[in-house]
């Protein structure tokens, strides 16, 4: 079932002509169960996998020398998660990735991905599209954060990612939006008062 979910996702971007192509693609992935609060990536260990989230939620973050953490990404069903810099270059990771819920992912390791890309241009096209979409997303996010204040960043997150809001801790969401937890609480309280 989980591999069907991945194939449905892939077919949004490339057409797989037959069952053999589909089977070849999913053969590179392994289903992994991840418990809540379990890390799948930690700094100083090379990130060997990228993961497609079948069920659950993850948070990707970095910690400064002063102990402050900064959230880079959340991932829920049908999102990809990895320390992509570590994965692509096969260098030690700089990020933590932790499960926020009991989760299931489909993991592909770096070498297997390279094999798939060499075997079929459609597979290479799919991974290229994922890289391009990821880069464009990060550019939009950085630009929006530079141009807008805290309330606008929160409103934009609510508008674009309503499925995330109830599933991620408030401190992590505040970190992602570039504000303190207290400031996010004030924004939420102000919003709640407007509704009542």
Residues 21-63 pLDDT 10s = 999 999 999 999 999 999 999 999 999 999 999 999 999 999 9
pLDDT at 1 (0 to 100): 60
pLDDT at 196 (0 to 100): 60
**Which residue ranges form the domains of the chain, and what is each CATH number?**
2-112 (2.60.120.10)
CA dihedral 80, 85, 91, 96 (to 10 degrees): -60
Average pLDDT over residues 77-105: 96
Phi, psi for 13 (deg, rounded to 5): -120, -35
- DSSP at 34: E
Per-residue model confidence as pLDDT tens digits over 3-25:
999 999 999 999 998 889 999 99
- Output the six-digit token pair for 28: 């590179």
């Amino acid at each position: 079932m989980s591999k069907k979910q991945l194939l449905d996702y892939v077919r949004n971007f490339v057409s797989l002509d037959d069952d053999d192509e589909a089977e070849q693609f999913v053969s590179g992935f392994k289903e992994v169960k991840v418990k809540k609060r379990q890390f799948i990536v930690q700094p100083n260990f090379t990130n060997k996998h990228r993961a497609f989230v079948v069920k659950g939620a993850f948070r990707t973050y970095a910690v400064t020398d002063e102990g402050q953490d900064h959230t880079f990404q959340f991932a829920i069903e049908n999102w990809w998660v990895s320390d992509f810099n570590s994965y692509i270059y096969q260098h030690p990771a700089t990020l933590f990735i932790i499960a926020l819920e009991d989760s299931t992912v489909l993991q592909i390791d770096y070498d297997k991905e390279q094999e798939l890309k060499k075997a079929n241009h459609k597979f290479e096209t799919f991974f290229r599209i994922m890289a391009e979409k990821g880069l464009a997303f990060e550019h939009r996010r950085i630009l929006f954060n530079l141009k807008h204040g805290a309330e606008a960043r929160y409103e934009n997150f609510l508008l674009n990612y309503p499925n995330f809001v109830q599933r991620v801790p408030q401190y992590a969401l505040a970190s992602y939006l570039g504000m303190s937890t207290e400031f996010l609480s004030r924004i939420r309280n102000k919003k709640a008062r407007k509704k009542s």
